[in-house]
Structure 1
Amino acid sequence: MEWTAIILAGGKSSRMGTNKAVLPLGGQPVIEHLVRELQKATGNIVISCGQSSEYAELGLPLLYDIYPRCGPLAGLHAGLAASPHRWNLVVSCDMPFVNASLAQYLVKQALELEGRGAEDGGRAIEAVIPRVNGQIHPLLAMYRCTVLPGLEQMLDDGCLKVKQWTSGLAVRYITGEELSRASGIPLEMIVFNMNRPEDYQAAQFYFEQNKT
Protein backbone atom coordinates (compact mmCIF):
# COMPACT_ATOMS: atom_id res chain seq x y z
CA MET A 1 0.00 0.00 0.00
CA GLU A 2 1.33 3.44 -0.88
CA TRP A 3 1.69 6.19 1.69
CA THR A 4 2.91 9.77 1.82
CA ALA A 5 5.75 11.21 3.89
CA ILE A 6 5.07 14.79 4.99
CA ILE A 7 8.08 16.78 6.19
CA LEU A 8 7.08 19.70 8.39
CA ALA A 9 9.41 22.60 7.58
CA GLY A 10 7.32 25.72 8.07
CA GLY A 11 8.45 26.77 11.53
CA LYS A 12 10.15 30.05 12.41
CA SER A 13 13.16 28.42 14.16
CA SER A 14 13.02 31.29 16.64
CA ARG A 15 14.92 29.46 19.39
CA MET A 16 17.66 28.40 16.97
CA GLY A 17 18.02 31.89 15.52
CA THR A 18 18.36 30.54 11.97
CA ASN A 19 16.53 28.04 9.79
CA LYS A 20 17.35 24.75 11.47
CA ALA A 21 16.23 22.68 8.48
CA VAL A 22 19.19 23.84 6.40
CA LEU A 23 21.88 23.55 9.06
CA PRO A 24 24.58 21.15 7.84
CA LEU A 25 25.32 17.76 9.36
CA GLY A 26 28.23 16.03 7.71
CA GLY A 27 28.24 18.62 4.95
CA GLN A 28 24.57 18.05 4.10
CA PRO A 29 21.56 20.13 5.22
CA VAL A 30 19.44 18.35 7.80
CA ILE A 31 16.35 18.41 5.59
CA GLU A 32 18.26 16.95 2.66
CA HIS A 33 19.55 14.12 4.84
CA LEU A 34 15.99 13.44 6.00
CA VAL A 35 14.70 13.44 2.42
CA ARG A 36 17.34 10.92 1.36
CA GLU A 37 16.42 8.58 4.19
CA LEU A 38 12.71 8.79 3.44
CA GLN A 39 13.34 8.19 -0.26
CA LYS A 40 14.59 4.74 0.70
CA ALA A 41 11.12 4.00 2.04
CA THR A 42 8.71 5.83 -0.30
CA GLY A 43 8.54 7.74 -3.55
CA ASN A 44 5.83 10.00 -2.15
CA ILE A 45 7.42 12.84 -0.19
CA VAL A 46 6.12 16.38 0.22
CA ILE A 47 7.38 19.36 2.21
CA SER A 48 4.88 21.36 4.22
CA CYS A 49 6.73 24.67 4.19
CA GLY A 50 4.40 27.26 5.67
CA GLN A 51 4.71 30.24 3.33
CA SER A 52 8.33 29.70 2.24
CA SER A 53 9.73 28.60 -1.12
CA GLU A 54 13.17 27.99 0.39
CA TYR A 55 13.17 24.27 -0.38
CA ALA A 56 12.39 24.40 -4.09
CA GLU A 57 15.87 23.11 -4.97
CA LEU A 58 14.99 19.74 -3.40
CA GLY A 59 12.64 19.06 -6.31
CA LEU A 60 9.74 17.94 -4.12
CA PRO A 61 6.19 19.29 -3.94
CA LEU A 62 5.96 22.29 -1.61
CA LEU A 63 2.71 22.70 0.31
CA TYR A 64 1.73 26.09 1.67
CA ASP A 65 -0.39 26.62 4.77
CA ILE A 66 -4.10 26.96 4.19
CA TYR A 67 -4.28 28.32 7.75
CA PRO A 68 -1.34 30.77 7.88
CA ARG A 69 0.48 31.46 11.15
CA CYS A 70 -1.17 28.56 12.95
CA GLY A 71 1.94 26.55 13.77
CA PRO A 72 2.56 22.82 13.33
CA LEU A 73 -1.14 21.97 13.13
CA ALA A 74 -1.37 24.11 9.98
CA GLY A 75 1.57 22.24 8.49
CA LEU A 76 -0.04 18.92 9.35
CA HIS A 77 -3.27 20.10 7.80
CA ALA A 78 -1.63 21.24 4.55
CA GLY A 79 0.10 17.89 4.17
CA LEU A 80 -2.92 15.75 4.95
CA ALA A 81 -5.22 17.86 2.79
CA ALA A 82 -2.95 17.36 -0.23
CA SER A 83 -2.21 13.67 0.28
CA PRO A 84 -3.88 11.13 -2.03
CA HIS A 85 -3.14 8.28 0.38
CA ARG A 86 -5.01 6.88 3.35
CA TRP A 87 -1.97 6.76 5.64
CA ASN A 88 0.65 9.47 6.02
CA LEU A 89 3.90 9.69 7.93
CA VAL A 90 4.54 13.11 9.45
CA VAL A 91 8.14 14.02 10.35
CA SER A 92 9.42 17.32 11.71
CA CYS A 93 12.38 18.68 9.76
CA ASP A 94 14.46 19.09 12.93
CA MET A 95 14.72 15.34 13.66
CA PRO A 96 18.08 14.56 12.04
CA PHE A 97 18.34 10.91 13.08
CA VAL A 98 15.06 9.58 11.68
CA ASN A 99 15.96 6.85 9.21
CA ALA A 100 14.22 4.69 6.63
CA SER A 101 13.89 1.73 9.00
CA LEU A 102 12.07 3.83 11.59
CA ALA A 103 9.70 5.18 8.94
CA GLN A 104 9.00 1.72 7.57
CA TYR A 105 8.30 0.36 11.03
CA LEU A 106 5.74 3.05 11.83
CA VAL A 107 4.07 2.44 8.47
CA LYS A 108 4.01 -1.31 9.09
CA GLN A 109 2.39 -0.82 12.50
CA ALA A 110 -0.33 1.42 11.06
CA LEU A 111 -1.17 -0.98 8.26
CA GLU A 112 -1.18 -4.03 10.53
CA LEU A 113 -3.43 -2.31 13.06
CA GLU A 114 -5.85 -1.32 10.33
CA GLY A 115 -5.71 -4.77 8.78
CA ARG A 116 -6.85 -6.48 11.97
CA GLY A 117 -9.44 -3.84 12.80
CA ALA A 118 -7.70 -2.56 15.93
CA GLU A 119 -9.69 -0.02 17.94
CA ASP A 120 -9.26 2.50 20.71
CA GLY A 121 -12.37 3.42 22.65
CA GLY A 122 -14.55 1.66 20.08
CA ARG A 123 -13.07 3.61 17.15
CA ALA A 124 -10.72 2.34 14.47
CA ILE A 125 -7.10 3.37 15.05
CA GLU A 126 -6.34 6.58 13.16
CA ALA A 127 -2.89 7.47 14.47
CA VAL A 128 0.30 5.70 15.53
CA ILE A 129 2.44 7.91 17.76
CA PRO A 130 5.73 7.26 19.59
CA ARG A 131 5.74 7.57 23.36
CA VAL A 132 9.28 7.89 24.68
CA ASN A 133 10.07 8.22 28.38
CA GLY A 134 6.44 9.04 29.06
CA GLN A 135 6.25 11.82 26.46
CA ILE A 136 4.30 11.54 23.21
CA HIS A 137 5.78 12.82 19.95
CA PRO A 138 2.99 13.65 17.50
CA LEU A 139 5.35 15.29 14.99
CA LEU A 140 6.87 11.89 14.22
CA ALA A 141 3.78 9.81 13.63
CA MET A 142 1.40 8.08 11.25
CA TYR A 143 -2.03 9.61 10.59
CA ARG A 144 -5.00 8.23 8.68
CA CYS A 145 -6.71 10.67 6.32
CA THR A 146 -9.92 10.45 8.34
CA VAL A 147 -8.39 12.76 10.96
CA LEU A 148 -8.61 15.70 8.56
CA PRO A 149 -12.15 16.98 9.35
CA GLY A 150 -11.42 17.11 13.08
CA LEU A 151 -8.13 18.84 12.42
CA GLU A 152 -9.87 21.48 10.32
CA GLN A 153 -12.39 22.02 13.10
CA MET A 154 -9.58 22.55 15.61
CA LEU A 155 -7.98 25.15 13.36
CA ASP A 156 -11.31 26.86 12.72
CA ASP A 157 -11.83 27.05 16.48
CA GLY A 158 -8.37 28.56 16.99
CA CYS A 159 -7.11 25.59 19.01
CA LEU A 160 -3.47 25.21 17.93
CA LYS A 161 -2.02 22.77 20.45
CA VAL A 162 -0.96 19.55 18.71
CA LYS A 163 -1.34 17.35 21.79
CA GLN A 164 -4.81 18.73 22.45
CA TRP A 165 -5.77 17.60 18.96
CA THR A 166 -4.22 14.14 19.25
CA SER A 167 -5.93 13.59 22.62
CA GLY A 168 -9.18 13.31 20.69
CA LEU A 169 -7.90 10.71 18.22
CA ALA A 170 -8.00 6.91 18.37
CA VAL A 171 -4.27 6.35 18.94
CA ARG A 172 -1.94 3.40 19.29
CA TYR A 173 1.28 4.39 21.05
CA ILE A 174 4.63 2.82 20.17
CA THR A 175 7.39 2.77 22.78
CA GLY A 176 10.82 4.22 22.20
CA GLU A 177 12.37 0.85 23.00
CA GLU A 178 10.33 -0.79 20.26
CA LEU A 179 11.31 1.88 17.75
CA SER A 180 14.96 1.66 18.77
CA ARG A 181 15.03 -2.10 18.17
CA ALA A 182 13.34 -1.71 14.79
CA SER A 183 15.45 1.19 13.53
CA GLY A 184 18.84 0.67 15.13
CA ILE A 185 18.71 4.23 16.50
CA PRO A 186 19.74 4.53 20.16
CA LEU A 187 16.80 5.24 22.43
CA GLU A 188 18.04 8.69 23.39
CA MET A 189 18.21 9.74 19.72
CA ILE A 190 14.88 8.34 18.47
CA VAL A 191 12.97 11.58 18.90
CA PHE A 192 15.94 13.95 19.25
CA ASN A 193 15.10 17.32 17.75
CA MET A 194 17.10 20.50 17.28
CA ASN A 195 15.39 23.51 18.80
CA ARG A 196 18.35 25.45 20.20
CA PRO A 197 22.01 25.99 19.24
CA GLU A 198 23.13 23.54 21.94
CA ASP A 199 20.87 20.88 20.40
CA TYR A 200 22.55 21.43 17.06
CA GLN A 201 25.96 21.10 18.68
CA ALA A 202 24.87 17.82 20.29
CA ALA A 203 23.61 16.55 16.92
CA GLN A 204 26.91 17.45 15.27
CA PHE A 205 28.85 15.60 17.96
CA TYR A 206 26.67 12.50 17.69
CA PHE A 207 26.84 12.53 13.90
CA GLU A 208 30.62 12.77 13.90
CA GLN A 209 30.94 10.00 16.47
CA ASN A 210 28.71 7.63 14.52
CA LYS A 211 29.38 8.36 10.87
CA THR A 212 30.66 5.49 8.75
Structure 2
Amino acid sequence: MILAGGKSSRFGSNKALALYQGRPLIAHAATVMAEIFTEKLLVTNTPEAYAFLGWPMTGDLVANAGPLAGIQAALNKIQAERAFIVACDMPRLDAAVITRICRCPGDWDVIMPELPGGGEPLHAVYHRRILPAIDAALARGEGKISRLLAALRVRTMSAAELGLADDRPVPFANINFTRDLRDLP
Protein backbone atom coordinates (compact mmCIF):
# COMPACT_ATOMS: atom_id res chain seq x y z
CA MET A 1 0.00 0.00 0.00
CA ILE A 2 1.33 3.42 -0.94
CA LEU A 3 0.22 6.59 0.81
CA ALA A 4 0.05 9.65 -1.45
CA GLY A 5 -2.24 12.01 0.38
CA GLY A 6 0.10 14.55 1.88
CA LYS A 7 0.03 18.27 1.28
CA SER A 8 3.74 18.42 0.36
CA SER A 9 3.86 21.83 2.07
CA ARG A 10 7.59 21.62 2.84
CA PHE A 11 8.32 20.53 -0.74
CA GLY A 12 6.28 23.30 -2.39
CA SER A 13 4.43 21.12 -4.91
CA ASN A 14 3.14 17.55 -5.13
CA LYS A 15 6.33 15.67 -4.32
CA ALA A 16 4.90 12.32 -5.42
CA LEU A 17 4.97 13.65 -8.97
CA ALA A 18 8.42 15.27 -8.71
CA LEU A 19 10.87 13.65 -11.11
CA TYR A 20 13.76 11.51 -9.97
CA GLN A 21 15.84 9.83 -12.66
CA GLY A 22 13.20 10.87 -15.21
CA ARG A 23 10.21 9.31 -13.41
CA PRO A 24 7.81 10.54 -10.72
CA LEU A 25 8.87 9.60 -7.18
CA ILE A 26 5.71 7.55 -6.74
CA ALA A 27 6.53 5.48 -9.83
CA HIS A 28 9.75 4.30 -8.18
CA ALA A 29 7.82 3.14 -5.10
CA ALA A 30 5.08 1.54 -7.21
CA THR A 31 7.59 -0.43 -9.30
CA VAL A 32 9.27 -1.99 -6.26
CA MET A 33 5.99 -2.68 -4.47
CA ALA A 34 4.47 -4.35 -7.57
CA GLU A 35 7.48 -6.71 -7.74
CA ILE A 36 6.76 -7.97 -4.21
CA PHE A 37 3.02 -7.90 -3.61
CA THR A 38 -0.01 -9.15 -5.51
CA GLU A 39 -2.49 -6.91 -3.68
CA LYS A 40 -1.82 -3.26 -4.45
CA LEU A 41 -3.55 -0.12 -3.23
CA LEU A 42 -2.84 3.57 -3.49
CA VAL A 43 -4.37 5.78 -0.79
CA THR A 44 -4.93 9.25 -2.20
CA ASN A 45 -7.52 11.98 -2.20
CA THR A 46 -6.55 13.01 -5.73
CA PRO A 47 -6.87 9.81 -7.79
CA GLU A 48 -6.80 11.67 -11.09
CA ALA A 49 -3.16 12.64 -10.42
CA TYR A 50 -2.10 8.99 -10.25
CA ALA A 51 -4.24 7.31 -12.90
CA PHE A 52 -1.06 6.65 -14.92
CA LEU A 53 -0.05 3.99 -12.34
CA GLY A 54 -3.09 1.82 -13.03
CA TRP A 55 -3.36 0.92 -9.35
CA PRO A 56 -6.59 0.46 -7.39
CA MET A 57 -7.16 3.52 -5.21
CA THR A 58 -9.06 4.62 -2.16
CA GLY A 59 -9.26 7.89 -0.24
CA ASP A 60 -8.96 8.84 3.40
CA LEU A 61 -12.00 8.17 5.55
CA VAL A 62 -11.08 11.12 7.78
CA ALA A 63 -10.13 14.33 5.98
CA ASN A 64 -6.96 16.25 6.86
CA ALA A 65 -5.79 13.74 9.46
CA GLY A 66 -2.38 12.98 7.93
CA PRO A 67 -0.73 9.62 7.33
CA LEU A 68 -2.65 7.92 10.13
CA ALA A 69 -5.84 8.42 8.11
CA GLY A 70 -4.08 6.87 5.11
CA ILE A 71 -3.11 3.83 7.17
CA GLN A 72 -6.73 3.59 8.36
CA ALA A 73 -8.04 3.74 4.78
CA ALA A 74 -5.57 1.08 3.61
CA LEU A 75 -6.34 -1.33 6.44
CA ASN A 76 -10.08 -0.89 5.88
CA LYS A 77 -9.74 -1.74 2.19
CA ILE A 78 -7.31 -4.67 2.09
CA GLN A 79 -8.20 -8.35 2.07
CA ALA A 80 -5.06 -9.55 3.88
CA GLU A 81 -4.52 -9.52 7.65
CA ARG A 82 -1.42 -7.34 7.33
CA ALA A 83 -0.28 -4.64 4.97
CA PHE A 84 3.11 -3.21 4.16
CA ILE A 85 2.58 0.54 3.99
CA VAL A 86 5.04 2.97 2.47
CA ALA A 87 5.07 6.67 1.69
CA CYS A 88 5.04 7.80 -1.94
CA ASP A 89 8.23 9.81 -1.52
CA MET A 90 10.71 6.97 -0.98
CA PRO A 91 12.44 6.43 -4.34
CA ARG A 92 15.07 4.00 -3.05
CA LEU A 93 12.90 1.20 -1.73
CA ASP A 94 14.68 -2.13 -1.50
CA ALA A 95 12.64 -5.28 -2.16
CA ALA A 96 14.95 -7.43 -0.01
CA VAL A 97 14.57 -5.10 3.00
CA ILE A 98 10.79 -4.98 2.60
CA THR A 99 10.67 -8.77 2.37
CA ARG A 100 12.71 -9.11 5.58
CA ILE A 101 10.28 -6.80 7.39
CA CYS A 102 7.30 -8.75 6.09
CA ARG A 103 8.83 -12.06 7.15
CA CYS A 104 9.73 -10.97 10.66
CA PRO A 105 8.53 -13.71 13.00
CA GLY A 106 6.15 -13.01 15.84
CA ASP A 107 2.66 -11.69 16.31
CA TRP A 108 3.30 -7.95 16.22
CA ASP A 109 0.87 -5.10 15.62
CA VAL A 110 3.50 -3.13 13.69
CA ILE A 111 6.95 -4.04 12.34
CA MET A 112 9.28 -1.30 11.11
CA PRO A 113 12.93 -0.36 10.61
CA GLU A 114 14.76 1.06 13.59
CA LEU A 115 16.39 4.44 13.02
CA PRO A 116 18.68 6.39 15.35
CA GLY A 117 15.72 8.61 16.37
CA GLY A 118 13.12 5.82 16.52
CA GLY A 119 11.24 3.68 14.02
CA GLU A 120 10.15 4.53 10.47
CA PRO A 121 6.34 4.19 10.55
CA LEU A 122 5.88 4.86 6.84
CA HIS A 123 7.94 1.84 5.81
CA ALA A 124 6.21 -0.72 7.97
CA VAL A 125 3.86 -3.68 8.29
CA TYR A 126 0.54 -2.98 10.02
CA HIS A 127 -1.89 -5.63 11.25
CA ARG A 128 -5.59 -5.05 10.58
CA ARG A 129 -6.47 -5.73 14.22
CA ILE A 130 -5.21 -2.24 15.12
CA LEU A 131 -8.04 -0.59 13.19
CA PRO A 132 -10.14 0.05 16.34
CA ALA A 133 -7.17 1.85 17.94
CA ILE A 134 -6.67 3.95 14.80
CA ASP A 135 -10.40 4.72 14.58
CA ALA A 136 -10.46 5.80 18.23
CA ALA A 137 -7.35 7.99 17.86
CA LEU A 138 -8.74 9.74 14.80
CA ALA A 139 -12.14 10.18 16.49
CA ARG A 140 -10.30 12.00 19.33
CA GLY A 141 -8.54 14.18 16.77
CA GLU A 142 -5.16 12.52 17.35
CA GLY A 143 -3.34 12.11 14.07
CA LYS A 144 0.16 11.39 15.36
CA ILE A 145 1.36 7.93 14.43
CA SER A 146 3.94 8.02 17.24
CA ARG A 147 1.23 8.38 19.87
CA LEU A 148 -0.63 5.38 18.45
CA LEU A 149 2.53 3.28 18.25
CA ALA A 150 3.19 3.85 21.95
CA ALA A 151 0.02 1.87 22.72
CA LEU A 152 0.73 -1.03 20.33
CA ARG A 153 3.03 -4.03 20.22
CA VAL A 154 5.73 -2.73 17.90
CA ARG A 155 8.80 -4.60 16.68
CA THR A 156 11.65 -2.54 15.30
CA MET A 157 14.29 -4.21 13.18
CA SER A 158 17.91 -3.07 13.29
CA ALA A 159 20.04 -2.28 10.26
CA ALA A 160 21.86 -5.58 10.80
CA GLU A 161 18.57 -7.53 10.83
CA LEU A 162 17.55 -5.78 7.63
CA GLY A 163 20.87 -6.53 5.93
CA LEU A 164 21.78 -2.85 5.57
CA ALA A 165 25.44 -2.02 5.16
CA ASP A 166 26.82 1.24 6.52
CA ASP A 167 28.05 2.29 3.07
CA ARG A 168 24.64 1.78 1.38
CA PRO A 169 22.01 4.49 0.97
CA VAL A 170 19.10 4.09 3.36
CA PRO A 171 16.21 2.60 1.34
CA PHE A 172 13.51 4.24 3.44
CA ALA A 173 14.81 7.80 3.28
CA ASN A 174 12.02 10.07 2.16
CA ILE A 175 11.90 13.36 0.32
CA ASN A 176 10.57 16.32 2.29
CA PHE A 177 12.27 19.28 0.65
CA THR A 178 13.39 20.00 -2.91
CA ARG A 179 16.99 19.89 -1.65
CA ASP A 180 16.41 16.28 -0.50
CA LEU A 181 15.55 15.32 -4.06
CA ARG A 182 18.37 17.39 -5.54
CA ASP A 183 20.92 15.78 -3.17
CA LEU A 184 19.95 12.17 -3.97
CA PRO A 185 22.79 10.47 -5.87
Residue of 26, 39, 45 corresponding to 2:40: 45
Instruction: Select 2:82's aligned residue among 82, 87, 98.
Output: 87
Which secondary structure state, in structure 1, belongs to the residue aligned with residue 85 of structure 2?
strand
| CA-CA distance at 1:24 after TM superposition | 1.4
Pair member with larger Rg: 1
Amino acid at match of 1:36: T
| 1:196 correspondence with 2:177 | yes
Shift in Å, 1:64 = 0.6
Tell me which amino acid in the other structure corresponds to 2:6. Answer: G
Question: 1:197, CA displacement in angstroms?
Answer: 1.0
Which residue of the other structure, out of 144, 150, 154, is the alignment partner of 1:161? Answer: 144
Q: 1:62 aligns with which of 49, 54, 57?
A: 57
| Map 1:1-212 → 2, pairs under 5 A | 6-109=1-104, 112-114=105-107, 125-181=108-164, 186=167, 188-203=169-184, 206=185
Once residues 177 and 187 of structure 1 are traced to their aligned partners in structure 2, the CA distance between those partners, rounded to angstroms, is 12
Contact 1:176 1:190 in 2 (8 A): no
**TM-score of the aligned structures, taking structure 1 as reference length:** 0.82
1:91 shift after superposition: 0.2
Structure-2 separation of matches of 1:100 and 1:11: 24
User: Helix, strand or coil: the match of 1:141?
Assistant: strand
Shift of 1:134: 3.4
3-state SS of paired residue (2:157):
strand
Tell me the SS of whatever aligns to 1:45: coil
1:157, 1:10 → 2: CA distance?
21
Structure 1 residue runs of 4+, over 6 Å off? none
Deviation at 1:38, TM superposition (A): 1.1
Offset from partner CA, 1:64-102 (integer Å, 9 cap, x none): 111011111111111111011001001011111112112
Determine which structure has the larger helix proportion and give its number.
Answer: 1
CA gap of 1:41–1:185, structure 2 versus 1, over 3 A, is: farther
Q: One-letter code of the match for 1:193?
A: N
SS across alignment from 1:113: coil
The alignment-based identity, stated in percent, is 30
> What RMSD, in angstroms, separates the aligned Cα atoms of the two structures?
1.6
Shift of the alpha carbon at 1:176? 2.7
Is the alpha carbon distance of 1:167 and 1:187 closer, same or farther for their aligned partners in structure 2, counting shifts above 3 Å?
farther
2:133 is aligned with what amino acid?
G
Any unmatched runs of 5+ in structure 2? none
Q: In structure 2, do the counterparts of structure 1 residues 186 and 144 end up closer, same or farther at CA, with 3 Å as the change threshold?
A: farther
1:149-172 deviation line (CA, Å, top 9, x unaligned): 110000001011110011111111
Question: C-alpha displacement at 1:49, in angstroms?
Answer: 0.6
